[in-house]
């Protein structure tokens, strides 16, 4: 069966994680695509670069990533359980294994 109870919407959590990570990783870098004409960027040269967030905001982004990673694990494991892919024992074991793997990565 491989899940499907939530119509695979749990994978959207991964997209959010990657989007936040991209914001953090691109800070201060020149944007690959510029949407305005050169005159605009002469007037607003800072708009050619990705935003640099204050350290406190960056920390909250990192916290959000960790929480979302846990949410992704829970959503996936519950999906498999509700779809009949995991029984009670395997649900609990796999949930614990996935959470331990996440904790060991960090």
Report how far apart the first and last C-alpha atoms of the chain are (Å, whole number): 31
Instruction: Say how many CA atoms lie within 13 Å of 68 toward its Cβ.
Output: 18
Beta carbons within 8 Å of 38's beta carbon, 6+ residues apart: none
Q: What is the pLDDT of residue 1?
A: 53
Predicted confidence (pLDDT) per residue in 59-99, tens digit: 999 999 999 999 999 999 999 999 999 999 999 999 999 99
- pTM of the entire structure? 0.86
H-state helical runs in the chain: 11-25, 38-43, 55-82, 88-105
pLDDT recorded at residue 106: 65
Rounded Cα–Cα distance for residues 87 and 90 (Å): 5
């Amino acid at each position: 069966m491989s899940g499907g109870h939530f119509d695979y919407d749990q994978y959207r959590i991964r997209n959010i994680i990657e989007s936040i990570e991209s914001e953090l990783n691109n800070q201060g870098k020149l944007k690959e695509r510029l949407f305005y004409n050169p005159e605009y960027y002469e007037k607003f040269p800072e708009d050619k670069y990705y935003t640099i967030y204050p350290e406190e905001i960056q920390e909250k982004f990192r916290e959000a990533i960790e929480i979302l990673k846990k949410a992704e694990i829970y959503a996936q494991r519950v999906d498999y359980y509700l779809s009949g892919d995991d029984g009670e024992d395997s649900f609990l074991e796999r949930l614990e294994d996935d959470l331990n793997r996440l904790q060991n990565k960090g």
